[in-house]
A and B are shown apart, each in its own frame.
Chain A
Amino acid sequence: MIAYLTTLIILVAVSALVGLALNVQWGVAGLVNFGVVGFVALGAYTTALLAPPLGWFPAMITAAALCALISTVLAFLSIRLEENYLAIVTIGFGEVVRILLLNESWLTGGAVGIADIPRPFVNLVPPRQYDLMLAAFALVLVAIVFVLLETLVRSPFGRALRAVRDDATVAAALGKPVLLLRVKAFATGGAVMGTAGALHAFYLTYIDPSQFTSIITAYAFMAVIAGGRGSNFGLLFGAGTIMVLLEATRFLKDAFAVIDGTQLAALRLGLIGLGIVLLLILRPQGLLPEPQRKANDFFPDHEGTS
């Protein structure tokens, strides 16, 4: 049972990281990234390739940096024109990454992928308890990223992003460098997606293109919508509940012998799609509200009517 629990923790941790990243990009800054899976895959493969020569930590950092760099380039290219184009460019990016992974076998190992990826602190603990340690590592990683992103969202930087999301012209009239702010937000999200890819690689120790399907993008959007756009706490709840719900469908497979693996995967993704649509219509504001600075943060005696 423990093994199953650690797996669940790590899976939730990966999707939480991806969700936190998308929340910065879309929830706070209003930038639609339909190529989430491309950045996660890029993070995973960079880590897998660089971990042997450089060690797991420098590989993870480089993966995050590379994803941030590519996010900057893509964001700068399309945001100059109009938000809708970023969605189209990112969906293209996701697709191109998938094709390169499959066909550039000299680098990525093609369909076979890359195996025995070195794992963090591998000699710290006997192999039997390693998964438990990795689950702890995953939780610590999520905690660190959460604190960093929550600080950013609650800081003047987050406030400026929310202003740009609400009305970019007014933000510019108040002297805010709109394009620079958006590119920074998109790059921050990209870096966190790269880290999520790294964690994914450390957990599975072997990666191949089939692990990076559009379900990762769908999970992220569902988690952000369910959690409440702009709210990192809400996002954690969202990511957690979705993952638990979907893992529950695993037991569904045992209950209904008739459903095979493919159908189960289809059912999950279809339910996620339905969930995205229903949530957008019925509960657009999501679980938790966006964090806002209240008057009594500064003036405890403020008896304003909230």
Chain B
Amino acid sequence: MTALLEVRDVSKRFGGLAALDHCSLSLKRGQVTGLIGPNGAGKTTLLNVISGLVKPDNGTVHFDARDVTGQPMHRVATLGLVRTFQIVRELGGLTVLENLLLAPFHQRGEVISGALFARATVREQEARHAAKARDVLKRIGLWKLADHSASALSGGQKKLLELARVLLLEPTLVLLDEPAAGVAPPLLKDIIELIRELKADGISFGIVEHDMHLIGAICDHVHVLAEGTNLISGSFDEVTADARVIDAYLGLGV
């Protein structure tokens, strides 16, 4: 089973509305998979269920052949399945550099005993993480602002910082929630470039997005969601040519 992520028959209701209705799909290892569909199709809810932010009513989620259904988000993240947020949420009280130093898992200094009694190990880890953080910051052009508080950055810079922060987690699968939303074209090019490079490094991506240009540019495979379920899957060209997708988008109903 080469599928890195397997979502089987997941449903989730909020009050009367069925946000997800027996939705099943899978994301292949080493691929960039697009999740598209009109507003209210359940894309973000699906991402919240997979990442563990929201518990599904029924159905299962398997990551790397492990059942992670209903696991809390912080545990799912440490397994290598990480996510970003639709509305950028930078940690304002920390500097740009600290936002990245925060990322790596299982830091010895994050437990009281480590912070107090393993100072040498902690210093060594911090230096190693700082070196990696500097490379990433230089790559996305934010190294000069390393000491600025994250809240002082522009919208686009915050998006890049969030992407950089996620990369320092050395993830296996990254779920991006509308990375292109509110991002100016030049910056969009950088994001596309960055995702391509990381894909080459072996990181898989799941992208929820409305910007068809971005989806067309980098997705190997696309799932179209409509009214809480997986309508059809295939390559971007196959999918956008399919009459049912156009109808779903134009609201003629499934």
Contacts and interface: CB of A to CB of B under 8 A. Distances in A.
Interface in B174-228: none
A295 B84 CA distance: 25
Nearest to B93: A166
Interface stretch (A77-85, A169-177, A193-201): A169-177
A284 B105 CA distance: 33
Contacts of A163: 91, 93-94, 102
Contact of A160 (B72, B73, B110): B110
Interface string B92-109: 111101100111010111
Contacts, number: 137
Contacts of B125: 156
B78 to A, nearest CB: 4
Nearest to A289: B149
B147 A151 contact: no
B77 interface: yes
B147 A155 contact: no
B144 A162 contact: no
Interface string B117-145: 00100100111001100100000000111
Given A162-B94, A305-B144, A155 B74 contact: no
A298 B130 contact: yes
A171 B101 CA distance: 13
Of B112, B131, B169, most buried by chain A (CB within 10 Å of CB) is: B112
Contacts of B75: 175
B89 A169 contact: yes
B249 interface: no
B93 A156 contact: no
Contacts of B144: 304-305
Contacts of B53: 169, 172-173
A280 B126 CA distance: 34
20 contacts: A157-B114, A159-B94, A162-B94, A170-B91, A172-B74, A173-B77, A173-B84, A173-B85, A174-B74, A174-B77, A188-B112, A230-B93, A292-B149, A293-B95, A293-B126, A298-B126, A299-B134, A302-B146, A304-B146, A305-B144
Contacts of A160: 102, 110
Contact of B146 (A165, A166, A295): A295
Contact of A173 (B83, B107, B110, B134): B83
B33 interface: no
Given A155-B110, A298-B127, 18 more contacts: A155-B115, A156-B108, A159-B101, A169-B85, A170-B91, A171-B74, A172-B53, A172-B72, A176-B74, A177-B74, A292-B94, A293-B101, A295-B146, A297-B130, A298-B131, A304-B143, A305-B148, A306-B148
B116 A170 contact: no
B173 interface: no
A47 to B, nearest CB: 23
A156 B107 contact: yes
Contact of A294 (B102, B111, B147): B147
Q: How large is the interface on A (under 10, 10 to 19, 20 to 34, 35 or more residues)?
A: 35 or more
Interface residues of B, number: 50
A292 B41 CA distance: 42
A290 interface: yes
Contacts of B111: 157
Contacts of A167: 89, 91
Contacts of A188: 112
A165 B94 CA distance: 11
A304 B116 contact: no
Contacts of A166: 91-94
A156 B125 CA distance: 10
B116 A148 contact: yes
A172 B127 CA distance: 24
B82 A173 contact: yes
A172 B169 CA distance: 13
B109 A175 contact: no
Nearest to B143: A304
Contacts of B101: 156, 159, 293
Contacts of B119: 151
B45 interface: no
